Amino acid sequence: MKIAITGKGGVGKTTIAGLLARTFAADGSRVLAIDADPDANLASAVGFSEEERNSLQPFSRMKNLAKERTGADQNSVGLFVLNPKVDDLPDSHCIEHAGVRLLMMGTVEHGGSGCVCPEHTLLRSLMKHLLLDRDDVVIMDMEAGIEHLGRSTAEAVDVLIVVVEPGQRSLQTSTQIEMLAGEIGIKRIVYVASKVVSHDDLVFLKNALKDKDFLGFLSSSETIRTADKRGLCAFDIGGRFLSEIQGIKTSLTKL
């Protein structure tokens, strides 16, 4: 199963991505988590130590690797291979904790309106490989723009989870995300609520999403907030939210 998770900044999508990754792994699945958000925080949400997090380098910064794999370092005329070998990279460049292997994609920084460069080519080829050629449960923490997904790989995403919280701004962002996702060919879009405080919050969201696939919710949790402040993994601390995320995971497997 290939799962992409997105939502307005601050809604809790990284927390949900980390909890889902750990839940799938605890249930015996082979899990590959991908941090595709420029504001990369998935490693701490999964439970990696600070030392492990510091050892993880985003692929977007591996300029020498990108040049080597695309052949860009072998000529001086700007030509390079557009489909470089990448199938060995996930296993050789990941870190692993509690059954979850993690990769960090990063963002290619460039001037101008577009980028056709070795680093961008490497990222695009790697994402295509992860979505099309691997049997892992792949969980991707995306930014709202889902910029790492293109038309060539979007159809390989089994489900896009849009995380929302009780509030109009979050719902407005979710509408924009759904439109963009539809344009690039993602067919299954579902919703998960986060930071739900009361029954009224849940009723508000269910009414707002009454025509959408709503998989479940995470209650507002002081444990999750404290874990986030301390850079810890909420899954390792435990709480009511573990049964809630298990319910979301069960709903995903039934899609």
- Amino acid 167: pLDDT: 95
How far is Cα 28 from Cα 22, in angstroms, rounded to an integer? 10
How far is Cα 159 from Cα 77, in angstroms, rounded to an integer? 41
- Amino acid 116: pLDDT: 61
- Amino acid 76: pLDDT: 54
Please state, in angstroms and as integers, the Cα–Cα distance from residue 5 to each residue in 31, 139, 157, 165, 251, following that order: 15, 7, 10, 14, 15
- Amino acid 16: pLDDT: 96
SS3 state of residue 239: coil
- Amino acid 199: pLDDT: 96
Ranges of the chain whose pLDDT falls below 50: 110-114
Residue 61, judged by CB atoms within 10 A of its CB (0-12, 13-18, 19+), counts as: middle
- Amino acid 12: pLDDT: 93
- Closest by CA to 124, choosing from 115, 135, 112, is 115
- Amino acid 134: pLDDT: 87
- Amino acid 108: pLDDT: 61
Which residues does 229 contact at the CB level (< 8 Å), separation at least 6? none
* Structural domains of the chain in order of their starting residue, each with its CATH number: 2-253 (3.40.50.300)
- Amino acid 112: pLDDT: 40
- Amino acid 148: pLDDT: 66
- Amino acid 113: pLDDT: 39
Q: What is this structure's pTM?
A: 0.91
